[in-house]
Structure formats: C-alpha cells, structure tokens
Structure 1
Amino acid sequence: MQFDEVVYRIRIAAGGGLLKKKTKSEERVILKGISGMVLPGEMLAMLGPSGSGKTTLLTALGGRLGGHLAGSITYNGKPFSNAMKRNTGFVTQDDVLYPHLTVTETLVYTALLRLPRTLSKGEKAEHAEAVIAQLGLSRCRNSIIGGPFLRGVSGGERKRVSIGQEMLINPSLLFLDEPTSGLDSTTAQKIVSTLWELANGGRTVVMTIHQPSSRLFYMFHKVLLLSEGNPLYFGKGAAVLDYFSSVGFAPSVAMNPADFLLDLANGVATAESNEDQAAIKQSLVNAYKTQLSAAVKSELDVDSSLHTPTNDRKLKRWSNTWLDQFSVLFRRGIKERKHESFSTIKIVQVLVVAILTGLLWWQSPVDHLQDQVGLFFFYSGFWGFYPLFQAIFTFPQERMMLSKERASGMYRLSSYFMALTLGDLPMELVLPTVFYAITYWMAGLKHTAGAFFSGLFVLLYSVLCSQGLGLAIGAAVMDQKSATTLGSVIMLTFLLASGYYVQHVPAFIAWIKYISISQYTFKLLLSSQYESDQIYRCGTNQTCFVRDFPSIKTVGIGGRGSIVAVLAMAVMLVLYRLIAYVALMRVGVTRN
C-alpha cells in the first residue's frame, strides 16, 4: 500500500443563531501532504497526540473517507475497489458488537455474511472456529459479548472478537484504530503480539496507537509520527531515535521512545525546555521536508514486481445472494432483539396497564356508551404511542453497526431492512395481543368471535402503522432526543384531530384527520363493536341509535368510511417504511 501527498480538507459550517451573529464558514486542513508505503509482512504504527489526524488518515487509507481528499492512495498499484474491499479488514476503535450474542454466534454470523457463497454453511462455521482458536478465544466462546449494563467478556476479549470478524476473510491488509485503547499493558501486549504474528504471516497491518509501551514500540516495523496533520517522521521504528538525534532532538534521559515522540509532536523538546512549542513543531516539520521527504518519495518508486494483479471483473459485488443475506440477518436479528422486546420491564408494564384498564372498565354495559367509546379511544392512543417509541430508537441504536457492516460490503441495505421489518413483527404483535385479550373480556365487550377478532386485527394493524411511523422518524432524524420530541408532537396531533376530544374542528385544520393513524384506528375499533342501526338506552325510557352518539357521529362507523380507513392505513403501512428506507440511504450509512 502506497500513499503520496495525502491532503484532507473539511469545511466548518457557519455558526450563529437567533441571538448570535453568524460567522463565515471556514476550511480547515486536517492532513497536510502525508506520504509513505507499507509492504506485506510489515506493521505500520501511526503515532501522535489527540487531534493529530491519525484516525482520519487511517480512515482515508481504508477507503472509508469521503469529502475533499486529495493525493494518491494505491493498493498493489491500483485505487481502492470492490476487490480490495474483500481483502481489507478494518477494526474501529469502538467495538461495535451485539451485546446478547455469544462470541461464537458473533463470529459465525459474520462468517455466514462475509465469506463467499462457494463455501457451505458448515465450512463457514469451521472458519469461525479456526479464528476463535487462533485468537485465543476458546475459553470464552460461549460467553455473551455484553455491554455497558450487561456483564460479558473482558475488554481484551471484546477487542479480539472485533479483530476476529475481520480475520474471517483472511485479509491481506488489516487496519486497526487504537486497538489497545482502554486495555491494561498485559492485554495490550497480547493484542499487538497477535497482530505482529499476523504481519509475519505475510499480511500488511496498519494501526493507530496513542501511547504504546516500549515493548510494543519495538514490535513496529515502521512508524509514522504526526503533529497537527503534518508528518514528522516516516521510516523504520528502530531508526527513529537516531533520526531525531541527527536533527538536534535527543532524549535527555533513558525513556520510552513512544513517550519521547509524543513530546516532540506536542512541541516539547525536553522536560526542562522552555522553548516555544510552535517553533519546535515547525522546526520538526521543516526537518522532515528537507531530510526525509525525498527519501520517502524515492521509496514509493517500488518495483512493479511487488504488485499483485487483481481481476475486478471476476469478483461479484456481493459475497452472498439476497436471500442468504436476509436469512442470516433475520435469524441474527431475532436472537438479538428478543431480549429487548420481551424484557421483564416491558412485559410488566403492559400487564399492569392491561389489568388496571380492565378494572377501570370492568364489565362496562353498552348503555354506558361513553365509557366504552373512551376505552376504544384509549386503545388507539396507547397502542399509537407505545410501538412508535419502541421503533423510534431502532435505527439510531443500530446506526453504528449498520455503518460498520455496510462499509465492509457485508450485505445489501434492502436485505437488512426487510430482515429487521419482518423479524420484528412476531415480537411487536405479541404484547398488544395479550393486552387486548385481557382488557376485552374484563371490560365485558361484545361476546362474539367476530367482534373480538376484528377488533384485534384493527389494533395490530394500528401497531404496524405506528411502528412504521417510528421507523421513519428514527431513520430521518437519527437522534434519539430529537426523534422522541418529533414523534410525540406528531402522535399528539393525530390524537387531537381524531374526533374524540374536539367534535367541531375548524375547516382550515380539519385536514389533519385524513393523515391521522389514531382517527382511522378509532373509527375501525368502533365499527368492530357496533353496527350503524344498533340502539342503546340514552335515557330513563328512551333509546337512541349508536351512530348518533356525538363521539361516534363525528368519525362515523361502518360503510364506505371503514373501507377508506383500511386503505388509508395500508398506504401508511407501506409509505412510512419506504420513507425509513430512503432516509437510511440519505443519512450516509451506506457506502456502496
């Protein structure tokens, strides 16, 4: 891999607000002409203080950085391509893993998605087992990954699982962003030793690392030192101290070379130095340009015999078929999300509300029509909000995983979206079914199978529509707080316009009811329980038609109105999910 004069610029948006004067947008240069080369069998470590551009450069070299990127980055003499993506592993600093899956399940599912379709499921599982053994994960193979609030494997084991996911494809080029971050020195030593063995096996390993110990430092074949986006050194790790001594910067005491390099990158020459830090940094930048830059450029002129030809035409874009991807993602999604969908707190919440509702409406007679109408409105409100907020968090929580896996070319966005949508159906419909069954019989509603099942169908239909709206809001906003606020406003608007609270809505705002899930749900629930010519006792010796009851008359029951409601909700069912899918494509979680 070669990179020559890599420059990266970003434009910082103008600031300001209602009370602040807006400032002009400005362009900032993050990487300032960085060059280098790393060969098979070598491990390159990129060092520098926070904000020096290490992660940005690594992301650029891994083919995952868009924007104003200039310069040349080649792999075997060619630019980044689908062929390179299949032979490149990228381990992010944060271990993005599903917490409820075991180590074995995590690697097996990854193998099923990333390894080519020419291998059988059994052979892919064998590859996963081999990686588990290679990375020393056999002891924790059946332990769950865990998370911030769920006890699982240790930090070092979690990092090795992340590396193992990339090792499954037997990458010729492996990128790692801070693989030792947050680990103790012994665990960090094990991780880097594993990477050193991989490099010695003929792979190319490139990593960023913040402050390695001296033992780790001497494992690096090559070192790249950055300061504020400028290269200060590129070359063999063993020669770094000699170079800086030759330009007038030598450690005054015996110390870890990595610590000394970080001091220089921060503009600190010696512990007792009072020199201007900016002047020291500029001196080091000038020294690199005059003494090292030409040598690095000449090294880039490598003999073409080192280049391994790749035939992109023979390589299909996807490792597996759409159906295979859907099948694996469907099974993985159910196994992971069932813990959240059927968590104890959610089950208790729904059961408590159901029992309380049943007691409040206990054996409500049809003559108390206002009470029964209120129950159906409560159905439409509660099961409008509940699935909406469950769905709103789906994509914001999944975004990092989706970005990571899509950037690796693991699956199509459509297969992921369909697997998530269909996989959630059984889990999302169980709790409202239980809720409805409890409250229906406790409230003493119509004792016929037709009324019961038609009402249940309407409720589940409403749940699916509200879930779709939640998915659309979550995908479009991708911020949990903002999405929750927007979802609350929209659902409250639907409830207010549904005809229960206000029966004489002004014409200029009455159009809201035509896009209200709550209004259609309320109408269909009433139609499932009452008939247009049904009567009830509205006075001491007086009867009235149900259709003339104020709350019912506003929305209407039966007839063409019910057909329109069913069709309108069908449109919403499809439209909201389509919006969610398009939003996922627009927010930048896809890269191919």
Structure 2
Amino acid sequence: MERPRRSRYFLACAFASKIRQIEKHVSICDDEDGGFLRKKKINFLGSGFAEGSTMTFHHISYRVHLKTGHYGFRKVVKKDILTDVSGVMKPGLNAILGPTGCGKSSLLDILATRKNPKGLTGDILINGFPLPPNFKCISGYVVQIGTHFIRGVSGGERKRTSIGLELITHPTVLFLDEPTTGLDASTANAVLLLLKKMALQGRTIIFSIHQPRYSIYKLFDTLTLLAAGRLLYHGPCDNALPYFKGLGYLCEPYNNPADFFLDIINEDSTAVGMSKMTIITIPIDEDNDMEDTDSIALGLAIRFTRSAYYKQMMADLDALSSDDKKKTTAYKGIPYTTPFLHQLKWVSKRTFKNLIGNPQNSTAQICIATFLGLIVGSVFAGVKNDATGIQNRVGALFFLTTNQCLNSITTVELFITEKRIFIHEYISGYYRVSAYFFSKILADMVPMRTLPGIILTSLNYFLIGFKPTAVAFFTMMITVILVAYAASSMSLAIATGQNVTSVANLIINICFVFMIVFSGLLVNITTISPWLLWLKYFSIPRYGLNALQVNEFTGLKFCSELEQGVNVTCIAPSPFTICTGEEYLKMQGIDMTFLGMVKNYVALICMTIIFLSIAYLKLRFIKKYT
C-alpha cells in the first residue's frame, strides 16, 4: 500500500513543480487591440506558443431521448437539456453557474466535444472558425484521478495533479467540470487561484461550478448563468449584479452573489419575493405542466434576450464569426502527431510500471502460482507406470488446464478499472485505441499469463515425474501458456466495455463450467449425444488437455511383462485394463497423430486471436461520449 501512495505523492509533487516551471517561463506579449478582443501571445520557454483563443457557441440546443416506464411498457420521452444557448468565452476565467440539473455540465461537455452529438444542434467556433479535427489535442479537460480504494494523495493534490496532466500538452483551451467539488474552502480557493494565474497568462479556461464562495466568485471574468437549460445571463461577471438589480432583484448586503442567483431561480429569498411579479410576465396556461422553476427560468431567459447585454453578445458573436462559417465539425476523427510505435512504447512503459508498482496483481499471482505448484506437485508426486499412474497423470494434467482457465478471470479488470482514464485520454488525442490495447496485451496480459505457466510447469513436471525428456517438458510448458492465453482472451472479450466486474465474472464462470464438462475427463467424449457433441469444439480445456495427454502418454507402458510373456497387470482385476498410453488415448477418442496434435495448438491460437479481436472491437466502439 505504501509504494503506490508514495508514487502518487511524488507524481503530484512533480506536476506541481511542472506548473511552477510553466508559470516561471511564460511571458505575455500584448498584441494590438483589434477593437473587440485583446489577444495575448504566450511565449513558452522562449519560443512562440499560442495566442489566447476565443471560443464562441451559437444557438446550442441539446435534446435527449429517455426511456420511461416498466420493461415491456416503456415509452420514449424527449427531454431538452439545453435550449438556444449562445455565448463568447474569451481568454480568462469563464464560469458556468447554475443549480443542479440546469445543464452546465452538459454545456461544458458540448464545448469540449465530449458529448454525444446525437440530438445536438448549433455551431461552435474557435477564433471564428469551425473546430479543427484536432481540437481535442489542443485543448485540455480536467477529470478526477485516483481510486476509491487507494487515495494516495489528498483531494487538492489530485485536483492540481489533474490540471498538471492536462498542461503537459500546452492546451489553448482548458475545460474543468466543477473543479471545487469535494474540496474544503481553503483548497478550493487555492485551486481557483492557480487557474486565475493561468488565465492571466492568456489561457482560455472554461469551467462549471455549483455554489462558489465569494472569494472564488470575484475571480471570475465571465459569468454564464443557466437554469432549466436556458441562458439567464452571459457577460462580464462584474455586471451580473447590476443587471439583476435592473430587473428588480436587489442583492442583500453581505450576501454571496452566487447564492443570490440561485435564490432567484429557486424563489428562495426576500428579494425574490418582493420582485418576482415584475419578472414573470409571460402567459402560462393552467393546463401547462411546466414546473415553477422552469417557468421562472423561461421568464428570465426572455428578459435577457431583450437586454443590452444580449444584444452586445450577439454583436460579438457576429464579429467573431468568419464569412465561411459552416456547421461545426467537432466530432471528426482525431489526428495524431506521434506514430503508432511511439505511442505503443510509452503506453507500454506506463502499463509495465503500474504492473510492477501494484503488488496486489503481480506479486500475488506469482506467489499463488508457486504455492499451487508445490502443493499439486506434492499431491501427485512420484507417479508410477501402472493403473494408478494413469489416473494420477490425468488428474494432474486436468488440474493444470483447469487452473489456467480459472486464473484467467483476473484479466477481467484489465480494461474495467481504467475505463474512465482510457476514454478521457483517447478522446483527448493522447494515443490510438490500438496502441492502448496492444500495450495492455504486451505489458500486462502476456507476462502475467506466461510467468505462472512457466512456474507451474517447472515445479510440477519434476515433482510429479512426467516423461523425462526435454521435448516433452517444453511442449507441456507451451501448452499450459497457450491455454492461459486463450482463456484470458475469452475473459477480455466478455469483460471489455463493462462497468462492473460482477456480471462479467458470472458469464465467464458459466462458460468455463460448460467447457470443463466437455474437456474429456468428466465425461467420455465418445459417449456424448451427437446433438450436443458440437459443443466440444468451443472447449478451451479440451484442446489443452488433449495436447498434454498426447505429449505425456505417447510411448508409455503400464504393464509389467514376465519372461514367459504373460501380462500379469492386464489380467488382474482392475478398473483399468490398459497396457500402453496409446490404448488409453484411443479409448478417450483423442487423435494422437502429429496432425491431431497440431490441431489442438491451431485451435488455441485461433481462439486467442478471435477473442482478442472481439475485445479490440468492443474497446474500439465503446461509448466514448457522455
């Protein structure tokens, strides 16, 4: 537990140092005032970096389809999340404020192109032009890091580390979803002061926030106030209180403006009680099922469209819009600045470091494989070439194949635990899906399936007393490893894309139960009804057990012959009347030819490739938008 905690602490310190270096080396050069927007050019480490970007959004509306009712009687209901929202986000701190469920997080995700485009209408521009295909690569989106079980560092350190991670790519626009949530007042203030410093350096910072304290509120440059998906105010933060005062809403002395705005929306203050009749002037039908909050939001939204601030905002939008403005193309494919092999190299390094630094998954599996190898080797130690030797050999081989299948369940968490991190890094343009997938296969699945197979074979082979030849030893080792690969690939194919491991574990266990039944030990394959016999072709343990039995039993003799040539063992009362390994294989219906042996390996390799392909396709087409 200490190693991950220390590593996360050092990571937080490293990124905090990185932020300080950025602040130290960034210089600001003011360009000529263009009459509308004062652009700032940032020089990073003495080189030209970027101009402060201005993001505009025009008539954004977002509608989703929700299913309601019980199963079998469900109906689809349309719900408007955002309705005709427009605005200008200039370099600085741009806050999106509103009550819970007002659509502020949805607006943030839409601007960051992380929302499902289905049901989305409107235009999003950057410096007057449609968003480029690589917008996700030149912008940053801060998410939480850490897990529920291993905190490692405090909330404030995690938040600052998350910001530092996004600053590595030097984004011109930085998005944050409620950066103060879960932080105490002092830490939240420190995080916003850090963002303010970056905003003063010409960076465009857009974030949603629920109910900030006044010391945080006064840092905002631009305020966007939403309620029920409608725009109630958008403009300079300093002008928000005068605007609402002009509507008849007077903020009481020593009242937090952010709380005051929420009180207006929720009709929860003295000022609201005195002024609400002058605000809601729209006619509302008696049969209208609109909630009170929605009606207030609609009334305030209509009043805003008639204000001078709205007219100025629309003039600013027209000034920033280029003549060739087209429908936004924010959701195109992500171009990459680095090749596949470069991404594979670094993501594999990270995966391998995480594997080494997480002893719960790496060291524990190796220790368990060693312990099982010693126990099984002791139980089946010293097999003989008689009737009991047949039973003991088959039991040991069956255990090896079954154990490799059941141990593969640990791969279920390979893509589940990092699902949120993968989605964030992928849509941010860090790497390709293929680079992430193969890094997990090469740096995690392969070593954690190969090492236990080598350990089990090395310990069991000589303790049990299998056929004493080098070819047979390495054949068994390769077979055990291939069984682990195939079983792990099947687990990945089932678990990829899932949010929790419980359902995936249940499905995988059911599959392995049927596979073990058709492995050839619990029931003789030759006695199974033809209409069920086809299931044997889907049994991973069957291919592994067949290959191991052919490898071990070929050439073995289990009968002691006297000088007179009479076979005493075979004529003695025994449940096994088998004299050679070939007779046993024939009785089990196992093809002992070279071609039959090759078929087992081809089947295991093909199943591995097919299951990995399914896992990759599920990862490739996983839902990546919120």
Q: Which of the five TM-score ranges fits, normalised by the shorter chain?
A: 0.7 to 0.9
Q: CA deviation at 1:79?
A: 1.7
Per-residue deviation, 1:494: 1.1
1:408 aligns with 2:428: yes
Task: Quickly say closer, same or farther: Cα 1:175–1:280, change in 2 above 3 A.
Answer: same
Contact 1:268 1:277 in 2 (8 A): no
- The verdict on how the C-alpha distance between 1:195 and 1:539 changes in structure 2, with shifts beyond 3 A counting, is farther
Distance verdict in 2 for CA 1:340–1:55, change over 3 Å: farther
Q: Give the match for residue 578 of structure 1.
A: 613
- Aligned partner of 1:330 in structure 2 is 348
| Structural mapping, 1:490-505, within 5 Å | 490-503=511-524, 504-505=527-528
Cα shift at 1:303: 5.3
**What is the match of residue 569 of structure 1?**
604
Q: 2:106 maps to what in 1?
A: 56
1:321 corresponding residue in structure 2: 339
Supply the AA of the counterpart residue of 2:233: Y
Q: 1:373 aligns with which of 394, 397, 402?
A: 394
- AA at the equivalent of 1:218: K
Q: Within the alignment, does 1:301 sit opposite 2:309 as a pair? A: no
Q: Report how many residues are paired.
A: 529
* Partner SS for 1:250: coil
Which residues in structure 2 correspond to 1:270-309 (within 5 Å)? 270=270, 273=273, 277=293, 279-291=295-307, 292-302=309-319
Deviations 1:401-459 (A, max 9, x none): 11111111111212222222111222331122212222223322223322222111100
Is 2:374 the partner of 1:352? no
Q: Could you report, residue by residue, the CA deviation over 1:98-132 in whole angstroms, capped at 9, with x for unpaired residues?
A: xxxxxxxxxxxxxxxxxxxxxxxxxxxxxxxxxxx
1:20-99 to 2 correspondence within 5 Å? Answer: 21-40=72-91, 42-66=92-116, 67-92=118-143, 94-95=144-145
Specify the SS of the correspondent of 2:61: strand
TM-score between the two structures when normalised by the length of structure 2: 0.79
Are 2:575 and 1:540 equivalent residues in the alignment?
Answer: no
Contact kept in structure 2, 1:91 and 1:162, CA below 8 Å:
yes
Q: Deviations over 1:552-587 (max 9, x none)?
A: 623343432211111111211211111111111122
| 1:111 alignment counterpart | none
Report the residue type matching 1:217 in the other structure. Y
In the other structure, the counterpart of 2:59 is 5
The amino acid of 1:27's aligned partner reads K
| 5+ long unaligned stretches in structure 1 | 98-146
Task: Report % sequence identity.
Answer: 29
Secondary structure, aligned partner of 2:541: helix
Aligned equivalents of 1:199 and 1:267: distance in 2?
34
Deviates more, 1:214-223 or 1:26-35: 26-35
3-state SS, counterpart of residue 79 of structure 2: strand
> CA 1:488–1:305 in structure 2 vs 1: closer, same or farther (change >3 Å)?
closer
3-state SS, counterpart of residue 496 of structure 2: helix
Amino acid at match of 1:301: D
Whole-Å separation in 2 of the counterparts to 1:151 and 1:280: 42
SS in structure 1 of the partner of residue 102 of structure 2: coil
Structure 1 match to 2:504:
483
SS in 2 for 1:25: strand
Paired letter, 1:221: D
Contact 2:585 2:592 (C-alpha < 8 Å) held by counterparts: no
Choose which of 418, 425, 448 in structure 2 pairs with 1:427. Answer: 448
Q: Deviations over 1:155-182 (max 9, x none)?
A: 2121111111221222221111111111
1:377-456 matched pairs, under 5 angstroms: 377-387=398-408, 389-424=409-444, 425-456=446-477
Whichever residue aligns with residue 284 of structure 1, its letter is L
Q: Distance in 2 between matches of 1:30 and 1:185?
A: 30
Please give the secondary structure, in 1, of the residue aligned with 2:381: coil
1:142 aligns with none
Residue 520 of structure 1, CA deviation: 0.2
Q: 1:254 to 1:474 in 2, by over 3 A?
A: same
- Rounded to whole Å, the distance in 2 between the matches of 1:505 and 1:231 is 70
**TM-score, normalised with respect to structure 1:** 0.83
Tell me how far 1:342 sits from its aligned partner: 5.0
Task: For residues 481-512 of structure 1, give each alpha carbon's deviation from its aligned partner in whole angstroms, at most 9, with x where no partner exists.
Answer: 22112111111111111121121211111111
Partner residue of 2:553 out of 511, 524, 530: 530
CA contact (8 A) 2:366 2:451 kept: no
Quote the Cα distance in structure 2 between the aligned partners of 1:519 and 1:174: 54
Structure-2 change in CA distance of 1:492 and 1:547 (3 Å): same
1:304-340: per-residue Cα shift (whole Å, max 9, x none)? 7999xxxx9xx99312111111111111110112325
Check the 8 A contact 2:369/2:452 in 1, yes or no.
yes
Contact 2:230/2:298 (8 A) holds in 1: no
- Cα separation, partners in 2 of 1:303 and 1:207, compared to 1, 3 Å: closer
Once residues 175 and 494 of structure 1 are traced to their aligned partners in structure 2, the CA distance between those partners, rounded to angstroms, is 49
Matching residue of 1:513 = 536
State the Cα distance separating 1:85 from its structure 2 match. Answer: 3.0
Larger radius of gyration: 2
Distance 2:571 2:466 in 1: 21
Contact 2:348/2:439 (8 A) holds in 1: yes
The 5 A counterparts of 1:131-280 are: 147-150=147-150, 152-270=152-270, 273=273, 277=293, 279-280=295-296
User: Unaligned regions of 5+ residues in structure 2, if any?
Assistant: 1-54, 277-291, 325-329, 560-568
* More moved, 437-446 vs 277-286: 277-286
